[in-house]
Chains A and B, each alone.
Chain A
Amino acid sequence: MNKAKVLKLAKGFRGRAKNCIRIARERVEKALQYSYRDRRNKKRDMRSLWIQRINAGTRIHSVNYGNFMHGLMKENIQLNRKVLSELSMHEPHSFKALVDISRNAFPGNKNVVHAPRKVALPLSV
């Protein structure tokens, strides 16, 4: 790539990396490597974010993500995680309906019972 193209790609970089060709060339090469890698990472990151959002949405209704998805699979509901996360954010009543469907198909979690408090005895004086 000639210098003009490299410097065009280096717009917005910090310090001499945007002006001086020797430094810019290194940073631009790195930037292109990162963008190649991150085009693949973005798909993973977005799916992880959708799952976190679905988890938050279902825990409001006392169901966790794993049991929720299992129930949906049992009912053969093929909504993907992207759509489910959008529903959990913007369509809470529809999402609650889905949670109810899933809970009927797979009741899942047993109720957690906390042990009563025990008084901690001090160690031998």
Chain B
Amino acid sequence: MSQQIARTRLAYARTWHHLSFATDPRPLGRIASSIALHLMGKHKPIYDPSTDCGDYVIATSCADINTTGKKRYQKLYYTHSTRPGSLKSMSMDNMFKKWGGGEVLKKAVRGMLPKNRLRDKRLARLKVFEGEDHPYRKNVVKIDGKTVNNDRIGHIGETLDAVLQMKNELPPEKVGVAQAST
């Protein structure tokens, strides 16, 4: 019976998280790890591996991705076309120039997702942009003028408060009113 309680569309609704590399000081791998957790849905207490309960993540300013050390010029990305002798390598800097920071981020996140049939679906929920502009502003919900999800991507407690407030179960002074805004 307890398995039925959380089976509401609202509980499984996918939220949109936004993070900007311009303001986030963490390096590439640490952010990618956090993104992968949110794409999998492991930041939610209702997580279940059989349901794809992951969220969307919008990553902007990917041109400003921070890497430590000399990785930018020394880390190599390899491709191979299965034809003998066709191993090609490209440094991270050249990846930035040719494909952009978005691709570098996607490669990092792709390696951090579980290698199963859901991997590509989850990766498709990561939306990357080189600049600050993105077409999903209406999807990122704000409460009290503050986005639902803070810098560290994801704070479902605030979403829950908003839901309970809408159902009049929480005293109004504890919580802001949810407004969908750009």
Contact = CB atoms under 8 A, between A and B. Distances in A.
A13 B42 CA distance: 33
Interface stretch (B101-109, B139-147, B153-161): B153-161
Given A92-B157, A114-B26, A120 B70 contact: yes
Contacts of B43: 56, 59-60
Give the interface residue-count category, chain A. 20 to 34
Contacts of A92: 45, 157, 160
Interface string A7-25: 0000000000000000000
Interface string A50-61: 001111110111
Contacts of A121: 70
B155 A60 contact: yes
A52 B42 contact: yes
A86 interface: yes
The SS class assigned to the B binding surface is loop
A56 B45 contact: yes
B44 interface: yes
A102 interface: no
Interface residues of B, number: 27
B110 to A, nearest CB: 21
Contacts, number: 57
B48 interface: yes
Given A116-B25, A117-B25, A52 B70 contact: no
A5 interface: no
Contact of A123 (B42, B67, B70): B70
Contacts of A52: 42, 47
A54 B70 CA distance: 38
Given A117-B25, A120-B67, A120-B73, A86 B2 contact: yes
B44 A56 contact: yes
- 4 shortest A-B CB distances, which residue pairs? A57-B45, A88-B45, A120-B72, A114-B25
Interface of A: 49, 52-57, 59-61, 85-86, 88-90, 92, 96, 114-118, 120-123
16 contacts: A49-B47, A53-B45, A55-B42, A60-B45, A60-B155, A60-B157, A61-B157, A86-B2, A89-B5, A89-B46, A90-B2, A92-B157, A114-B25, A117-B66, A120-B67, A123-B73
